[in-house]
Amino acid sequence: MVSLNHYLLLSAVLFTLGVLGVMARKNALVILMSVELMLNAANLAIVAFIRYAPPLGGDAGLAYLQMAGNGMVFVFLILTVSAAEVGVGLAVVINLFRQRETVNIEIANLLKG
Amino acid sequence: MTTPPPPFPDLALMAVSPQAVLLITALVILCLDLLGKKIEKINITLTALTGVVAAYACTQGLSASDEAVFAGMVWRDGWSIYLDQLFLAGTALIVLLSHLYAERQQMDAYGEFTVLMLFATLGMMVVSISADLVTVFIGIELLSICLYVLTGFNKSSLASGEAAVKYFLLGAFSTGFFVYGLAFLFGVCHTTNLGAIGQAAAMEEGTPLLVLGFALVLAGLGFKISLVPFHMWAPDVYQGAPTPVTAWIAAGSKIAGFAALARIFSLPDLSFAPLGELWAEGIWLLSLATMIVGNAGALVQNDIKRLLAYSSVAHGGYLAMAFTARNTVGLEALFFYLAAYLFMTIGAFGIVMLARRNGEECCSLADFSGLAHQHPMLGALMAVFLFSLAGMPFTAGFVGKLWLFGAAIQAEYYVLAVTGILTTLLSFYYYLRVIVYMYMREPESGTVFDPPAASGVIATGMAALGIVVLGVFPNLVWKVLAAQMRGI
């Protein structure tokens, strides 16, 4: 039987992979993919929380519907916003590539001190 | 606050009128930019300023109420009105400085630049009114995405391109933490409404998942307000970004970050109840580390924009101190200092833009040698901003710091207050260094500073006026603020 904890564990693994990817990799595009992994971990957690929510007090049916609708709209908004973020991010990375012919962030180290 | 939303939400459009006016202004400028290829920069600036003034006029007509509107998404309470006014005042100054910058750089896409600036402001103003996790998230992302683009706006500049990549990657990384934290808050409290979360969290106090959620949110927002250890991006991005954008990242996005923190953590009833002692301990440590690292970092900088970046990090530490008080007094001190911080940061970066020698922006401190001899006005203005940042009496920075330290002492965080005072003394060294260069060093022979442009002088002059007024008559703002905060 798959329980809420299984989903939360999976989402934690996804999130950790994302964090490790951002920390360890030097390629801006791979870092971008790792960030997406982190956001998907959050989405997975929210959807799992909705699916396994205990019956809420009072008028349980209506309260559950409100909670579920609330959470799912949140998931859709996270999806769209992260799409917008990737759109801008790719443009920024392409600009870096045009300037330096590389997307390695270790080579781009003009600013320091 | 927690009543289920009505089947068809009432659209209280008046409550969001400043945001609506700003949005329409941005769209109008977008259309103007499409229509005429050769539209004059001054027309774009004037349109933007008209919109900002109109939006400010709308805030005057608002009345604070505790009711959440738009199905519980929007809160038009006292502090949202105050923050909206702060953001709009800042935008007016930034638009003037952007005009100066665009003229100097002969920027082609000035319309787009202005539109993105206005959208970033809109994001900040969405944060200020938000009563729901979803609204906070949308606002934070709107302002961040616009600022990523603006940071890389100088497509020919290597520094600008690199700063944009750094800002974007770390910003997106922090969004990951923020959203994951929000997911846990939703999971524990089963709602995204901030008021309901506050009540649910107070009942679930100490649940590991809840603490983890709040900690992740704090880390995510910590990036935005560059608290140590999440501050690494700040100096690089501040140095590489176009200077008006740097000013707006330093001032606007940091104020919005603090507004979001205050919104999410002060629940319910401004008492910071759900996390209790844990919150105070966490923010105590972050504030202490931020003050020390920020001020120590600024000591060794020779680039003016990096120096101001570290100074901005240090100010994040002073501002975070307000949260240790965990009451309305602390929040009032925070909001007062945010106003002071807005004017002195924008003003200081404005002078960096104005002080150009032989057609180049001054980068290193040595470039400022003799500025005050050739342009006494610029020197005096810069001195006002730096003294205020350092916290000299009769400036807004002094009054604000006094209240912040007072809040920490009242909450019995003596170590924090003493560290604040000691680091403030330390900060006099690096602020005075700039003044020494301006007033007591001779410029290299043949150095000619460009004559200051009118729009920049107006903007920095108004910022300086704000600082002096806040410093000499703090009660003017204080009374308004206190009435609005306690009226909640």
**Cα–Cα distance for residue pair B246/B252, rounded to 1 Å:** 10
**Cα–Cα distance for residue pair B181/B214, rounded to 1 Å:** 6
Contact A71 B192 (CB under 8 A): yes
| pLDDT value of residue B121 | 97
Contact A81 B141 (CB under 8 A): yes
Q: Where on the phi/psi map is residue A101: left (φ > 0), alpha (ψ -120 to 50), or beta? A: left
Mutate to test the interface with B, among A23, A74, A102, A109 (most CBs of B within 10 A): A74
User: Are the beta carbons of B305 and B227 closer than 8 angstroms?
Assistant: no
Identify the residue whose tokens are 């003799």.
B370
pTM for the model: 0.94
Contact B141 A84 (CB under 8 A): yes
Give the amino acid at B337.
Answer: Y
Helical spans, DSSP H, in A25-112:
28-51, 60-100
**Cα–Cα distance for residue pair B409/B467, rounded to 1 Å:** 25
First to last CA, chain B: 13
Strand duo B68-69 + B74-75: pairing: antiparallel
Q: How many CB atoms lie within 10 A of CB A75?
A: 18
CA distances from B388 to B223, B261, B395, B428 (A): 25, 25, 5, 10
Nearest CA in chain A to B299: A113
DSSP characters for B239-283?
Answer: HHS-HHHHHHIIIIIHHHHHHHHHHHHSTTTTS-TTTTHHHHHHH
User: Are the beta carbons of B294 and B310 closer than 8 angstroms?
Assistant: yes
Identify the residue whose tokens are 């590991």.
B208
Chain B residues with CB-CB distance to A62 below 8 A: 4
pLDDT per residue of chain B (488 residues) written in tens, 0 to 9: 455 555 566 678 888 999 999 999 999 999 998 886 678 889 999 999 999 999 999 998 888 777 788 888 888 888 899 999 999 999 999 999 999 999 888 888 899 999 999 999 999 999 999 989 999 999 999 999 999 999 999 988 999 999 999 999 999 999 999 999 999 999 998 889 888 888 888 887 778 888 899 999 999 999 999 998 999 999 999 999 999 999 999 999 999 999 999 988 887 666 666 676 778 888 899 999 999 999 999 999 999 999 999 999 999 999 999 888 888 888 889 999 999 999 999 999 999 999 888 777 888 888 888 889 889 999 999 999 999 999 999 999 999 999 999 999 998 899 999 999 999 999 999 999 999 999 998 887 777 888 888 889 999 999 999 999 999 998 888 887 777 776 54
∠ CA B332-B334-B335, nearest 5°, is 65
Token duo for residue B225: 């307000």
Which residues make beta-bridge pairs with B361? B356
Contact B145 A84 (CB under 8 A): yes
Contact B175 A28 (CB under 8 A): no
| pLDDT value of residue B3 | 59
User: Are the beta carbons of B319 and B342 closer than 8 angstroms?
Assistant: no
**Cα–Cα distance for residue pair B423/B417, rounded to 1 Å:** 10
Segment-wise mean pLDDT, segments of 10 residues, chain A, 113 residues: 92 96 93 95 95 72 84 95 94 93 83 70
Cβ contacts from A onto B, under 8 A: 136
Mutate to test the interface with B, among A81, A97, A102, A112 (most CBs of B within 10 A): A81
- CA dihedral (B42, B115, B456, B459) in degrees, to 10, reads 110
A39 touches chain B (CB under 8 A): yes
**Cα–Cα distance for residue pair B395/B403, rounded to 1 Å:** 13
| pLDDT value of residue A107 | 80
| pLDDT value of residue B483 | 74
| pLDDT value of residue B488 | 44
DSSP characters for B133-192?
Answer: HHHHHHHHHHHHHHHHHHHT--TT-HHHHHHHHHHHHHHHHHHHHHHHHHHHHHHHHS--
**Cα–Cα distance for residue pair B451/B85, rounded to 1 Å:** 32
Token duo for residue A27: 């390629």
| Residue B349: DSSP 8-state | H
| pLDDT value of residue B430 | 94
| pLDDT value of residue B453 | 86
User: Are the beta carbons of B405 and B321 closer than 8 angstroms?
Assistant: yes
User: Which H or E run contains B75?
Assistant: strand B74-75
Q: Tell how far CA B81 is from the center of its chain.
A: 16
| pLDDT value of residue A113 | 61
